[in-house]
Each structure stands twice: as structure tokens, then as C-alpha cells.
């Protein structure tokens, strides 16, 4: 088919496609490569680059502008309502960060925080998804559990600290408990939401194909709820970090929250900012990991959106 | 290329798995004195009223009526989704209590599992019936070849056109070798050209399987072109007001649409439907 002047597909292809195909191909959505107009083609080509590098330039630039402002404000002792005279500049913080990064204790703090996150988050995922599915599928379960969720959900992590310390056997357990509570609610709420949105026609289709209730849960309800569950998992990870820090600041001997707070009491100001930035970085990293880990399960959604 | 060649090619391609079993005398539907009443906010509403209907195995019957007349409700009672308020619905002498793979359903649209590939969608029925993964896949391949979509086996449904999605839906329903195929306005959301292609191809596939088909539509041309019999339903509550045999020769092609016999049947249906549609309008006006 090297030289085929006519715009029609070569004969062999026309035969290979079924009886529907030859007529209906025009109705089908065109494959992106073959039929897009030239203008769109340019955009499509840029999309092929591994990242939108120009957009990342802007993002890095935005951060650099903030760092520059921070540097100037602390160097010249900016003092108008907000005071920068006690705030170390980015260069001082950077030097201190390098010092911390070569000390073992710094990593012990990070390790303790990550360990608490892993335990609390793992527990929250298992329990949150289970409760969410139960509530989404059974009206009785929803009526039973929803009152607790509605009352407990607005209570911030910090407010739990006194009771957690009173109730839990160890300090570690109380911090994990507070972190767990923070992650739990967004996961439950999003799972319920996703499960309740299962399209009725898909359940009917599955039933008429002979699916049992268990098969419908596994093949229809859960995959359908997955986009919403994944959103809940990502939000839950953010709230988990938020709650962890609250717990670590008040009690505990290790952890990045303790690191930050003790730096304040010991008047080691650069370490405060290092602690904050590490929290921000680790929180974002964990959320990114959750999204990346779930994205293969949502391939059907992204592929559908592309065409 | 003759379409029947394609199906034969599919047989050759999968000699072990593909047996277009005729339904073997199965697929008799009996609807007796059926009433279906729904509880609504404004009191009970009768969707189907005293409907009786006998469908022979291998018969292609269309339910024709104005929208909202209860024809889908009647079909859903055969599917097992809706319970009769009064009367009974039987399949081969057994009362229908729940949905089952002996009655394949094809819905109007958006009924494929979007998280499963085309092939996984078609393999779902055999898998639920206890087939092994490999066997289910081979059945899926066969039926995808039957509807001409082998090339799209690994695509996700949302990347396909509406017509192609409906073909996957038909393949999925047939993969369980149902004795009855229930089709609820399956081509209603398609454009006219695609629809007429789908109709011809449905008849070819049905020619291979010869299972009972109950086909809900409000399109008169479609009903006449496809069916052995057209059952016309009245505006709400849905009663059966006419049962019109269609004695047009098969195999049928698009040329049939302009023959005097076709026109005569169409005129007959049109008069009935027009009267019912006017009644439906009046009901709506009174209600509003």
C-alpha cells in the first residue's frame, strides 16, 4: 500500500473490517493521529513532551520570587504589622538545613513521623473504605454509623489531644489515634459518596448477566466508586499530616512536629522553618504517592477522557 | 462482503468455542393478566394494565407505543427487575422471580462497564456463569468477531462511538447464549444511518441464533422492519391494543422500506400510535 493516491482506505483494510465497520468508521471518534486539523496537531505534539516544562518554569519562578521577598524582608528587618526581624533568612535556613541533613537525629524525627503516618493511615484506609462501602450499600448501616460521623467529623485534631492522652495507653498510641481520626473521615465520606453514585443501569446489566451480590460489589460498585475513593484517600493523607503534627507538638519525644516545636522553645529559629518545610514536603510527597499508586486503577477514566 | 460470511469466518476462527446453538425450542414468554402498579408521591400509578401476551420460541416481537406507556416496564417484568402487582410472567412455564442470564438485556446506552475493556465486558457473563478466565476470553473473542469489533477488544468502552458501544452490548448479552434477548430501545440514541446498519446486522445475528427477541421501541419503521409481530401499547396505563403480524419475507434489507406491503403496515401502526400519542398529550395537559 506504498502508493495509494485515493483517500479511501486500502482494499485489504476495508475487507478486514466487519460489516458494520466500513460504514460506521466515520461515525466513530477519529484516532487522534490521523484526523486532527493542523492547529490541534501542534498542541498534540507538545503534549508528547514528558512534562509541560514551560509551566514548571513558571511554578519554580513563583517560588523563587517568594524566596527573594523573604530574603529581602529578613535582611532589612521588615517591620510593619508583620515582623521579620526575628525570622532567619533563606540563606541561614539553607545552611542550617545542610547541617541537619548530615545529622542522624534529623532522620530519626522523620522516621518516627512516617511510621505514625503509615500506621494511622493504613488503619484509616481499611476501616474507612469498609465503613463507607457498608454505609453506601445498606441503609441500616448508614443510619447506624452516620450520626457518629456527623458529630465527630467537625471536631479538629487538636481538640482530641487531651482525651487521647487520657484514654490511650501510650503517648505513641495517642498520636497515632489522633492521626487516624484525621484521615478517617474524608475517606469514609468519599467512599459513601462514590458507592451511592453507582449507576443503576450497570447494576441491572450485571444482574442480568448472572452476577451475584458479591460479584456486583467487586465488579461494579467498587470500581465505580474508585475515583471518589481515591480523592478521599488523597484528602485523607493531607489531613493525616495535619493531625499528626498537632499530636506531635503537644506530646511525644520524636517526630517532625516535636522537632519544630522544640526548636521554638529552644530559640533555634532556623530549625522552625526547616521543620515546617519538611512537613510541607513530606505531606505533598505522600499525597502524590497515594495518587500515583492508585492511578493504574483509574486508567479507564483517563483513557476515556483523552478521546 | 456478505455479512453472513463474517459470522462464518468467526466460526472457523474459533472452532471449539463457537456453537451458534439454536435456542432449541426454549424461550417461550407468557404474560398473563399482568398489572404493574408503582407507588409514587401522588399515589399509586398503573404502568401496565391487564396485559396478556404469548411469545413463541424464536419469535421476534416488538413492543411499540408512545413514550411513557409502560412498554419498558412490561419488558422489565420479563427481565425480572419489576415484580407483577397482579398476574404472572412465565418463561418456558416457570414464573420469573429475578433477573438471570437466560434473558440477555441490551439497554439504550451507557450500560457497559467503563472500567472494563471491551473484551472484559463481553467475558463478564461467561465468567459469572463459572467459566474459567481463558474460556471466558475465548467466548468473548468469538462474540466480538461476530459484531465486527475484534480490533477494539482492548479498548475502553468510552473511547468507542455510540453504535460500537451498542454492538459490544449485544455481544455481551449474547455471550451467555440466552434463550431470550430483551432489547430496550437499543438503537434509540444512535443517528439514523448507524441505526439502520445496526438493524440489518441485528437481523443477521438473530438469524444465527434464532432466540426469542423482545424489542422495545417507539420507532415504527424499526418495529416493522425487524419484527415477526408488533404489539402496540396504549398511552398510560399501558394496555395492549393491537397485535399485528408482520408477514414480510426474510432476509430483509433496506429495499423493503419502500415496498407497498411495508408502507401498509407502517400506515396501520402510525394510525394507532398517533391516536395514543394524542391521548398521552391530553393526559399530560389535564395533569398539568
Q: Return the CATH number at A291.
A: 1.10.3720.10
Give one word for B58, left, alpha or beta, with left for phi > 0 and alpha for psi -120 to 50.
left
Check A303 against B159: CB less than 8 A apart.
yes
Q: Which DSSP category does B254 fall into?
A: G
Q: Which of A212, A219, A304 sits opposite B158 (nearest CB)?
A: A304
Asked if A278 and A110 touch (Cβ cutoff 8 Å), the reply is: yes
Is B195 an 8 Å CB contact of chain A?
A: no
Same structural domain for residues A77 and A119?
no
Q: Is residue A74 part of a domain?
A: yes
Q: Is residue A97 part of a domain?
A: yes
Same structural domain for residues A37 and A70?
no
Domain range for A67: 50-87
| Residue A5, pLDDT score | 42
| Residue A224, pLDDT score | 95
In whole angstroms, give the CA distance from residue B74 to residue B277: 18
| Residue A301, pLDDT score | 87
Distance set, CA A193 to CA A158, A198, A202, A290, B153 (Å)? 27, 9, 17, 19, 31
In whole angstroms, give the CA distance from residue A77 to residue A83: 7
Mean pLDDT of B76-98: 95
| Residue B109, pLDDT score | 87
Is B189 an 8 Å CB contact of chain A?
A: no
Mean pLDDT of B76-100: 95
Task: Give the residue from B61, B1, B3 showing the smallest Cα distance to B29.
Answer: B61
Same structural domain for residues A80 and A177?
no
In whole angstroms, give the CA distance from residue A255 to residue A275: 10
- Count helices and strands (H / E) in chain A: 16, 2
Best residue of B102, B125, B159 to probe chain A, by most A CBs closer than 10 Å? B159
Which of 18-47 (A) contact B at CB < 8 A? 18-21, 23-24, 27-29
Same structural domain for residues A26 and A65?
no
Reported as type and span, the H/E element at residue B269 is: helix B260-287
Same structural domain for residues A78 and A219?
no
Q: Which of A19, A210, A303 sits opposite B148 (nearest CB)?
A: A19
Q: Is residue A15 part of a domain?
A: yes
In whole angstroms, give the CA distance from residue B243 to residue B67: 18
Same structural domain for residues A223 and A100?
yes
Asked if B10 and B146 touch (Cβ cutoff 8 Å), the reply is: yes
Q: Is residue A242 part of a domain?
A: yes
Give contacts of B191 with chain A, Cβ < 8 Å. Answer: 27
| Residue A42, pLDDT score | 47
Is B266 an 8 Å CB contact of chain A?
A: no
**Set of cell numbers at residue A104:** 542522624
Q: Is residue A270 part of a domain?
A: yes
Is B188 an 8 Å CB contact of chain A?
A: no
| Residue A26, pLDDT score | 39
In whole angstroms, give the CA distance from residue B159 to residue B165: 9
Q: Is residue A301 part of a domain?
A: yes
Is B177 an 8 Å CB contact of chain A?
A: no
Check B161 against A24: CB less than 8 A apart.
yes
Angle in degrees, CA A115, A116, A120, rounded to 5: 120
| Residue B66, pLDDT score | 85
Check A17 against B148: CB less than 8 A apart.
yes
How many contacts, defined by CB atoms under 8 Å, are there between A and B? Answer: 128
> Residue B55: CB partners within 8 Å, gap ≥ 6?
B27, B28, B29, B30, B61, B212, B214, B229
If 0-12 CB within 10 Å is exposed, 13-18 middle and 19+ buried, where does residue B26 land? middle
Q: Which of B105, B128, B197 sits opposite A23 (nearest CB)?
A: B197
Domain final residue pick, A30, A58, A87: A87
Is A303 an 8 Å CB contact of chain B?
A: yes
Which residues does chain A have with pLDDT short of 50?
1-42
Same structural domain for residues A64 and A117?
no
Number of residues that make up chain B:
288
Give contacts of A301 with chain B, Cβ < 8 Å. Answer: 114-115
Domain final residue pick, A67, A87, A107: A87
Q: Which of B98, B156, B163 sits opposite A27 (nearest CB)?
A: B163
Cis peptide bond prior to B251, omega within 30° of 0: yes
Check A210 against B149: CB less than 8 A apart.
no
Same structural domain for residues A160 and A288?
yes
Q: Residue B154: closest CA among chain A residues belongs to which residue? A: A300
| Residue A25, pLDDT score | 40
pLDDT digits (tens, 9 = 90+) for B167-199: 999 999 999 999 999 999 999 999 999 999 999
Same structural domain for residues A131 and A225?
yes
**Set of cell numbers at residue A47:** 503534549
Asked if B61 and B214 touch (Cβ cutoff 8 Å), the reply is: yes
Per-residue burial over B169-189, b = 16 or more CB atoms within 10 Å of its CB, e = otherwise: bbbbbbbbbbbbbbbbbbbee
Classified by CATH at the fold level, domain B3-287 comes out as Rossmann fold (3.40.50)
Which residue pairs from A136-139 have beta carbons closer than 8 angstroms and sit at least 24 positions apart in sequence? A136/A191, A136/A192, A136/A193, A136/A194, A136/A195, A136/A196, A136/A221, A136/A225, A137/A195, A137/A217, A137/A221
Which of 88-107 (B) contact A at CB < 8 A? 98-101, 103-105, 107
Same structural domain for residues A301 and A254?
yes
Is A13 an 8 Å CB contact of chain B?
A: no
Give contacts of B176 with chain A, Cβ < 8 Å. Answer: 209-210
Mean pLDDT of B12-20: 40
Q: Is residue A3 part of a domain?
A: no
Give contacts of B167 with chain A, Cβ < 8 Å. Answer: 20
Q: Is residue A285 part of a domain?
A: yes
Mean pLDDT of B243-271: 93
> How far does chain A reach from its first CA to its final CA, in angstroms?
28
Same structural domain for residues A135 and A181?
yes
Distance set, CA A81 to CA A69, A84, A85, B114 (Å)? 16, 10, 12, 56
> Residue A259: CB partners within 8 Å, gap ≥ 6?
A106, A109, A271, A275
Same structural domain for residues A110 and A164?
yes
In whole angstroms, give the CA distance from residue B40 to residue B46: 10
Which of 173-202 (A) contact B at CB < 8 A? 199, 201-202
Q: Which of B124, B164, B182 sits opposite A209 (nearest CB)?
A: B124
ipTM for this model: 0.87
Reported as type and span, the H/E element at residue A97 is: helix A90-101
| Residue A12, pLDDT score | 38
Tally of structural domains, chain A: 3
Amino acid at each position: 500500500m506504498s502508493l495509494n493516491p485515493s483517500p479511501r482506505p486500502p482494499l485489504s483494510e476495508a475487507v478486514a473490517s466487519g460489516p458494520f465497520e466500513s460504514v460506521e468508521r466515520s461515525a466513530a471518534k477519529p484516532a487522534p493521529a490521523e484526523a486532527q486539523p493542523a492547529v490541534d496537531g501542534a498542541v498534540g505534539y507538545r503534549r508528547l513532551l514528558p512534562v509541560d516544562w514551560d509551566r514548571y518554569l513558571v511554578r519554580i519562578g513563583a517560588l523563587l520570587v517568594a524566596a527573594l521577598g523573604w530574603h529581602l524582608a529578613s535582611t532589612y528587618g521588615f517591620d510593619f504589622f508583620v515582623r521579620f526581624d526575628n525570622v532567619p533568612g533563606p540563606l541561614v535556613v539553607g545552611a542550617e538545613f545542610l547541617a541537619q541533613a548530615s545529622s542522624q537525629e534529623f532522620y530519626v524525627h522523620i522516621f518516627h513521623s512516617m511510621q505514625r503516618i503509615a500506621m494511622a493511615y493504613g488503619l484509616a484506609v481499611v476501616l474507612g473504605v469498609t465503613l463507607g462501602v457498608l454505609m453506601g450499600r445498606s441503609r441500616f448501616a448508614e443510619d447506624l454509623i452516620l450520626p457518629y460521623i456527623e458529630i465527630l467529623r467537625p471536631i479538629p485534631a487538636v481538640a482530641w489531644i487531651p482525651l487521647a492522652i487520657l484514654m490511650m495507653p501510650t503517648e505513641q498510641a495517642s498520636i497515632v489515634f489522633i492521626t487516624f481520626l484525621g484521615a478517617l473521615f474524608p475517606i469514609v465520606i468519599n467512599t459513601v459518596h462514590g458507592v451511592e453514585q453507582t449507576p443503576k443501569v450497570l447494576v441491572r446489566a450485571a444482574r442480568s448477566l448472572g452476577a451475584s451480590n458479591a460479584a456486583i460489589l467487586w465488579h461494579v460498585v467498587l470500581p465505580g466508586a474508585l475515583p471518589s475513593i481515591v480523592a478521599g484517600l488523597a484528602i485523607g493523607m493531607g489531613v493525616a499530616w495535619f493531625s499528626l503534627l498537632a499530636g506531635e507538638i503537644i506530646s511525644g519525644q520524636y517526630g517532625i512536629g516535636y522537632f519544630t516545636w522544640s526548636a521554638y522553645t529552644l530559640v533555634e529559629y532556623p530549625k522552625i522553618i526547616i521543620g515546617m518545610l519538611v512537613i510541607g514536603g513530606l505531606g505533598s510527597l505522600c499525597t502524590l504517592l497515594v495518587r500515583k499508586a492508585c492511578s493504574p486503577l483509574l486508567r479507564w477514566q483517563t483513557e476515556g477522557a483523552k478521546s | 462482503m456478505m455479512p453472513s460470511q463474517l459470522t462464518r469466518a468467526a466460526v472457523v476462527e474459533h472452532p471449539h468455542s463457537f456453537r451458534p446453538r439454536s435456542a432449541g425450542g426454549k424461550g417461550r414468554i407468557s404474560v398473563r393478566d399482568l398489572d404493574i402498579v408503582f407507588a409514587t408521591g401522588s399515589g399509586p400509578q398503573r404502568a401496565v394494565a391487564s396485559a396478556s401476551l404469548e411469545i413463541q420460541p424464536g419469535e421476534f416481537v416488538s413492543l411499540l407505543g408512545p413514550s411513557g406507556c409502560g412498554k419498558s416496564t412490561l419488558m422489565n417484568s420479563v427481565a425480572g427487575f419489576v415484580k407483577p402487582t397482579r398476574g404472572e410472567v412465565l418463561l418456558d412455564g416457570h414464573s420469573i422471580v429475578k433477573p438471570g442470564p437466560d434473558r440477555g438485556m441490551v439497554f439504550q446506552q451507557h450500560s457497559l462497564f467503563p472500567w472494563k475493556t471491551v473484551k472484559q465486558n463481553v467475558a463478564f457473563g461467561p465468567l459469572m456463569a463459572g467459566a474459567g478466565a481463558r474460556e471466558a476470553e475465548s467466548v468473548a473473542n468469538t462474540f466480538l468477531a461476530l459484531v465486527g469489533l475484534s480490533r477494539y477488544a482492548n479498548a475502553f468502552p468510552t473511547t468507542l462511538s455510540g453504535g460500537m458501544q451498542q454492538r459490544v452490548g449485544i455481544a455481551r448479552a449474547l455471550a451467555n447464549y440466552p434463550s431470550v434477548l430483551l432489547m430496550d430501545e437499543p438503537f434509540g440514541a444512535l443517528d439514523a444511518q448507524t441505526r439502520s446498519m445496526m438493524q440489518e446486522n441485528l437481523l443477521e445475528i438473530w438469524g444465527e441464533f434464532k432466540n426469542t427477541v423482545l424489542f422495545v421501541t417507539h420507532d415504527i419503521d424499526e418495529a416493522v422492519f425487524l419484527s415477526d409481530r408488533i404489539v402496540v401499547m396504549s398511552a398510560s396505563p399501558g394496555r395492549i391494543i393491537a397485535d399485528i403480524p408482520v408477514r414480510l419475507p426474510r432476509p430483509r434489507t433496506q429495499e423493503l422500506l419502500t415496498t407497498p406491503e411495508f408502507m401498509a403496515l407502517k400506515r396501520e401502526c402510525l394510525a394507532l400510535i398517533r391516536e395514543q400519542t394524542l391521548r398521552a398529550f391530553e393526559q399530560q395537559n389535564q395533569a398539568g
